[in-house]
């Protein structure tokens, strides 16, 4: 069955530190992968997406993610975290066979220390 | 419109009552999705509409849940005989063509069943 796993429920980092949020997926076909961010009181916003091509994708707000097929992973990274990055981050895989529904992970809540 | 809108923003109802939640997608978007987000959890796919195709209802948790969409515009999610476990934020998203295109999310409807 298709699934997305975000093993870290909560992560705390200091402002200016680097960040990596983990995402593993299980899907037999070619995965289309996404990272969304949900800030307090706001809707979900797309950070970046991977469909094909270069396995390192750049997104908004200085985020990037790397697709590793061999590890079934799509980890999100940022070299230097800002206090405004405190939010909940969701990884998602779009199914591409028979339907185009999305499977979301359970999310990672990021706390940033000043 | 400028974005996806949902109404009401908050709904409090008594157990056993029926509720209707509304979603207005971005104009021209052919795909529309409904998700449920329980407190502290990820997004749970409910239903997906794509143009005039039969909707993907595989995520609806019970026959108390149903959804309709008029052409490529407004959608209504109906929950009959609400239960306390239905309490959640219900999110709607639309995308241009549903073919793994970026989903744009509405602000959600927070449903509380007493």
φ, ψ of residue B83 to 5 degrees: the values are -120, 160
- What gap in Å lies between CA A61 and CA A26, rounded to an integer? 27
Residues of chain B contacting residue A103, judged by C-beta atoms under 8 Å apart: 45
CB-based contact B91 A44, cutoff 8 Å: yes
Q: What is the average pLDDT score of chain A?
A: 91
Percentage of chain A surpassing pLDDT 90? 73
What pLDDT does A98 receive? 66
Q: Which of A88-92, A96-100, B6-10 has the lowest mean pLDDT?
A: A96-100
CB-based contact B108 A43, cutoff 8 Å: yes
What pLDDT does B99 receive? 67
> For every one of its 114 residues, what pLDDT tens digit does chain B have, with 9 covering 90 and above?
579 999 999 999 999 999 999 999 999 899 999 999 998 788 999 999 988 888 889 899 999 999 999 888 899 999 999 999 999 999 999 998 876 678 899 999 999 999
Residues whose CB is less than 8 angstroms from the CB of residue B64 and which lie 6 or more positions away in sequence, other chains included: B79, B80, B81, B82, B83
What pLDDT does B109 receive? 96
Residues whose CB is less than 8 angstroms from the CB of residue A98 and which lie 6 or more positions away in sequence, other chains included: none
- What gap in Å lies between CA B30 and CA B51, rounded to an integer? 5
Beta bridge partners of B22: B7, B76
CB-based contact A44 B42, cutoff 8 Å: no
Beta bridge partners of B113: B13
B103, B108, B110, best to mutate vs chain A, most A CBs in 10 Å = B103
């Amino acid at each position: 069955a298709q699934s997305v796993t975000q093993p870290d429920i909560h992560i705390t980092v200091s402002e200016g530190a680097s960040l990596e949020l983990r995402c593993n997926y299980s899907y037999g076909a070619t995965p289309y992968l996404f990272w969304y961010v949900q800030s307090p009181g706001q809707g979900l916003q797309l950070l970046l997406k991977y469909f094909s091509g270069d396995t390192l994708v750049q997104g908004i707000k200085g985020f990037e993610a790397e697709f590793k097929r061999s590890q079934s992973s799509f980890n999100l990274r940022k070299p230097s975290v800002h206090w405004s990055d405190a939010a909940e981050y969701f990884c998602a895989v779009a199914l591409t066979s028979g339907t185009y529904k999305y499977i979301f992970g359970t999310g990672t809540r990021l706390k940033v220390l000043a | 419109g400028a974005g996806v809108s949902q109404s009401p923003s908050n709904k409090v109802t008594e157990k056993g009552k029926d509720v209707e939640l509304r979603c207005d997608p971005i104009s021209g978007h052919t795909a529309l999705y409904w998700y449920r987000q329980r407190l502290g959890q990820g997004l749970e796919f409910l239903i997906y509409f794509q143009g005039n195709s039969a909707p993907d209802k595989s995520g609806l948790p019970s026959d108390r849940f149903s959804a309709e969409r008029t052409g490529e515009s407004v959608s209504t999610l109906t929950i009959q005989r609400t239960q306390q476990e239905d309490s959640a934020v219900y999110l709607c998203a639309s995308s241009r063509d549903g073919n793994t295109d970026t989903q744009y999310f509405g602000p959600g409807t927070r449903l509380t069943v007493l």
